[in-house]
Structures are given as C-alpha cells and as structure tokens.
Amino acid sequence: MKSQYIIKIKDNDNVAVAIYDLPAGTEVLPGLRVCDEIPQAHKIALGDIPAGGEIIRYGVVLGYAKEDIVRGQWINEHMLDLPESPSVENLPYGTNIVRKEDLPAPVRDTWFGYRNKTGPAGTRNLLGIVTTVQCAAGVLKVAVEQIKKELLPKYPNVDGVVAVTHPYGCGVAINAPMAEIPIRAITNVIRHPNFGGEIMVVGLGCEKLTYDRVLPKEDITPENVLTLQDYAGHDAMMNAVMEMAEKKLERLNGRRREELPLSQLLIGMQCGGSDAFSGITANPSAGYAADMLVRGGATVLFSEVTEVRDGVQMLAARCVDETVRDRLAKEMKWYDDYLDAGGVDRDANPTPGNKKGGLANIVEKAMGSIAKSGTSPIVEVLSPAQKPTKHGLIYAATPASDIVCGPSQVASGIGLQIFMTGRGTPYGLDICPVIKVCSRNEMKDHWFDMIDISAGAVATGEATIADVGTEIFHMILDVASGLKEPYSDQYGFHIDMCIFNPAPIT
C-alpha cells in the first residue's frame, strides 16, 4: 500500500515508511495525521501498539515496543526491543522454489567478455600482481605506477595494472584453522578471471605465506614468482619487476573480447550505507536484475551474513536441497560463534547512518538486504573467498562490511559488483567494476556524478521495480562488456584489498 506520503509493504504491517520528511500534523492517510515530525525513510505507527506489542514491517516482527506507541507516532531505533535470533536447526528447505520459467526473462542473452581456459570470463583485461606479504606492498605500489607510465601505453589491449596488496602474509598464525580463509582468498585472487591466467606473484623471501601455500608446484617458476630479497638493491629489484611485468603484458595484449553467453558471467551483489528505502527500491530492483541474469544462465553471488541472519528461514526455503540448506546453517552458526567470541551479536551491525536512514535494528536491515537476492532458488553456499562450482544464485558467506565483502567476492571470482546504497558511499574495486545504485532520488541529486543508477523513482511511483531492474540489467551487461565505465572506475575510487582474516595475528 502506498499513499502520496508513505509506503506500507505487507498487509499485516503496523508501520509504514515516510517517502519524504513529513511535518507534524501531515495527514498521510484519510484520518491519520502524524503526531511528530517524521524524517524521510522513518517509520510511522499505523495503529496503537501497546508496550511489548509487535512492530511489524515486511510482514516480519522487527521488535517489541518498549513503551506504548500511539497511532501516528514516529517509531525510532530507541523504541524497540530486538527479537531472538531465529534458530538454524532443522530449517525447512525447498518450500519456496521459483521455477526458472517464472523468473523475469533476460532482455539480452549475450555480452562481450574475455574468455578464460576455465571458469567465468573476464570483464576487464588486467595485469594483476599479487603480493604474498604486506612487506612487499610499498615496492609493488611504486613499481605499478612505473609500469603504468612506461609499459602500459605500449600494450593498448590491456585495460590496466593492479597491485593486489593486502595486510596478510606474515606475523600471523599461519597454521591456525581459520587461516584457511585469508590463504584461500590470496590463492583464488591470483587466478581472478580478469587476470587472464597470467600469474605474477611478488614475495619478500622470509614471510610465512610461502609460494607453495598459494600456488601449485608447477606454477612456482621464475616466470611467475619474484622474491625481493634475491635482488641487490633498488635498481635491480625494480628492473626485475618491470621485466616480468612486460612479459605478462605482451601475452595479455593478445586477448580480445568475444560475444559470450550469460553463463560465462559471474557477478556479486552487496549493499552498504543502507536506509529504510534500500529494501523497497534499490535492493528489490537489483533482485529483479539478478533473477533475469539467473534465468539467462549467469551466476550471481550475494553475501553479508549478519544482514541475512534474521531471514535465514526465508533463504532455507529457497535452498534447492538438504546439502545446500546444511551449508547455509553451518555458515550462519560459524558466524554466530565468531560474533559471540567477540562479545557481541548480529545487532552490532547497523551503523549510525543506517539508523539515521530509518533502519531501527538488524532485523529491519536484514529484510531489506535479502531483497537484493531476488526470488531465484539458491543452488550453492560458499565459505568466504571460495569459488562457485555451480551456475545460478549462490550465497557466498562473507562479513557484511563493505570493504571485506567486496574483496571476498572478488576472490570468489566476480567480474563485476552491483552495490546498493541509501546514504551514499564512493566505494569501488580495482579488480572489477562496481555499479552504484541508490535507493532515493535525493541521493542521486546530491551525488549526481557518483551514483550510476537511482532506484528512487520506485518510491515516488514514477517507475516500477521491473523498470529499474531492467535498467540495472542493461547496465550490468554494458559495464561487463566494457561499453560503459561506472563512476567509481572513472575516478579511480578503489578501496584496498582488505581480506577477511578471523585467525590470530602473532
């Protein structure tokens, strides 16, 4: 239900969300005047709610009223008690499987990418130079600037050079069980589809993350790995990096885009700086695009454990079989324990900006976040930084933190990320392009030259979810095909490779 001023999502909701800032006294429905000034995206009580009563949005209990709430009152984050987190035991699975033919049909069947020997195709043709340890990062950053200046212009078919520097590699408990996560991330990023199978790994020489932990024996060759401690001084070291890079660039320069089926495309989705509109406009529109991609044979990852935890039963219902459901439950349980060990729970997730944007707690945030997954069945569940083995919609368990989720999905091999935001973030990745979709027109007006697509017209009624979803779908294929460059790439607003390391640092 939608009026000129408010949006209510499900019939049994007892709150609605303000489309604009509403002055006190505004009559939002016949006979319903708001008692307080209501900030945009914040909740209004549609009826009286007694203390202890349920506050329902998306048809889901967001929490329980701490005190009596009267009809027309503003409900902010201080007025709810958080419900218990849903159990992950014996979740019913396969009870909400949407058939492929019932998903929205893709409006295009092909795109143009760089085919790889195995796995998904590349969306960019990049020389990726990966460090095995942070100590090599400074050298590599300087070397990459030199490569860009002196070598790259000679190889016009190569889109760029990326220094994959990260905080892992030494001073860590390398044999700790959890260390498998950062090690897997580095192992898999070396083989990122945008690097075209060209391996260039730079180590220091005395670090714990030795080459054999990230490369098979046959790939540890002088052509692929370079150890800084082997070189006598600055000039010899830089020359060695330049020489190795040039050989790789020569080969990469021979790559060309070709027309490919959607099954060669692997993308990721995440949201950040969300607001209460994210779950009504941007995320469901992205979900619509995801459904189109999945129907067309593409693979789509969604992530962010704390932001799906409260809707785990909804995801289990979409798991295609018991194995997938069990993996989902296992990843949720692992994260519960991880948070517990840190003395917090999932409600440590929402930020002050989320709350200012009307999100009262993690339950409300999760319901909006899950909307980006669309309606497709979930065919696989991955641990952080694992590569998919199936096509379709896949849940890749990662932290919700933007700067950790992004690199984790990159390690899983995404060629593009679609990023939904309410409050705005300049976030971008250097290994693959990021398309920014905002939830409100005000955000697009504010950051007119930083947000790629606005889903705000869904809230004002000027566009449907299908309209914006189709626009997102076209943008995904255009950017993946190299026909368009999202703003974050135009400006080079790229974050660091912040890989997830839950293991001890020594």
**Where along the sequence are the contacts to Ca ion (CB under 5 A)?**
270, 272, 400, 402, 405
Choose between 163 and 405: whose C-beta lies nearer to Ca ion. 405
Q: Which is nearer to Ca ion, 196 or 357 (CB)?
A: 357
Spatial distance between the Cα atoms of 278 and 461, rounded to a whole number of angstroms: 15
Smallest separation (angstroms) from Ca ion to the CB of 398: 9
Closest of 53, 34, 31, 54 to residue 43, by C-alpha:
34
CA 75 to chain centre: 29
Measured from the CB atom, the residue of 402 and 452 that comes closer to Ca ion is 402
Sign of the C-alpha dihedral, residues 54, 56, 60, 65?
negative
Please give the backbone phi and psi of residue 414, each rounded to the nearest 5 degrees, phi first: -65, 145
Shortest Å distance, C-beta 351 to Ca ion? 10
DSSP 2: B
The answer to whether 72 and 44 are in contact (CB under 8 A) is yes
Of the pair 165, 270, the CB lying nearest Ca ion is at 270
Dihedral sign for Cα 228, 233, 238, 244, please. Answer: negative
273/377 with CB nearer Ca ion:
273
* Rounded least distance, CB 8 to Ca ion, Å: 26
Q: Is 119 exposed, middle or buried (0-12, 13-18, 19+ CB in 10 A)?
A: middle
- Residues 6 or more apart whose CB falls under 8 angstroms from that of 237 comprise 139, 228, 231
CB of 271 to Ca ion, least distance (A): 6
Residue (of 287, 318, 281) closest to 302 by Cα position: 287
Distance from C-alpha of 397 to C-alpha of 502, rounded to nearest angstrom? 13
Closest separation between CB of residue 436 and Ca ion, Å?
13
Beta bridge partners, 15, equal 45
134 touches 141 (CB < 8 A): no
Between 159 and 402, name the residue whose CB sits nearer to Ca ion: 402
Spatial separation of the C-alpha atoms in residues 25 and 74, rounded to whole Å: 12
Amino acid letter, residue 382: L
* Residue 426 neighbours by CB distance under 10 Å: 15
Q: Rounded CA gap, 284 and 277, in Å?
A: 10
Closer to Ca ion by CB, 140 or 332: give it.
332
Tokens of 377: 């069945």
Q: In terms of CB distance, is 134 or 351 closer to Ca ion?
A: 351
Which CB, 204 or 405, lies closer to Ca ion?
Answer: 405
